[in-house]
Amino acid sequence: MAVRDAVGMLKVGLELFVSEGPSALAVGRETGLPVFLDLKLCDIPETVDRAVARASTLGARILTVHAGGGPAMLARAVQRAEQERAGLVIAAVTVLTSLDAGDLAAMGLERDVPKHAQRLARLAYDQGVRAFVCSPHEVSSMRSLLGADVTLITPGVRASREAGADDQKRVATAARAIADGADWLVVGRPIRDAVDPLAAAHAFAREADEARASRGRSS
């Protein structure tokens, strides 16, 4: 793993999981890093319950589900993770970073993205979820809504020169996301597609560390 010394967790997403199956999580054992299993599960409660039980045996630290799956699905996911006692944390995805107000309107949903994300987060929180995935644009309001004890995971993190360069519409820099209250940053393409992935990973890590230090001084 080329970037293992510059990151704190490894993401196994849908593309890799479909390609390699559960064996993809061996990367965590090989590197000694926790694994963020980003499958965004959204199905009937029984199916998600069984999927969480299976994921609990794979060594993942965090597993994502869609908050839009509803209260019964969310509650079952949290309960199953707790029952398995494997240390798996359920994280609820609110609104994908590829969506904006126009996309929500096209789906017949609330056009105000932060408000819709907060509504989904509150629903998930009430079912026992204590980790959430939200874009950098919502992380500050999520922290205010949910408090200091939840874990906020922020995708859509870009270098300043890359903002708006791909299909993710609600993006920000690592410094901005950390300053607004993010705990974990998800950085994919800016590292994967860099000429020097390790240098890119170190650059993001330095920016995040500096932002955390600054946030600590101001708190």
Residue 162 identity (one-letter amino acid): E
**Alpha carbons 95 and 135: distance in angstroms, whole number:** 8
Q: Express each pLDDT in 67-113 by its tens digit.
A: 999 999 999 999 999 999 999 999 999 999 899 999 999 999 988 99
- Sign of torsion, CA 15 18 20 26? positive
Q: Express each pLDDT in 27-47 by its tens digit.
A: 999 999 999 999 999 999 999
**Are the beta carbons of 64 and 105 closer than 8 angstroms?**
no
- 152 forms beta bridges with 132
User: What pLDDT does residue 167 have?
Assistant: 59
**Alpha carbons 40 and 72: distance in angstroms, whole number:** 16
Q: 71-84 and 45-55 helices cross at what angle (nearest 10)?
A: 30
Known catalytic membership, residue 169:
no
Map out the domains of the chain with their CATH numbers: 4-218 (3.20.20.70)
**163 falls in which pLDDT band (50, 70, 90)?**
very low
Q: Catalytic residue among 11, 40, 115, 169, which?
A: 40
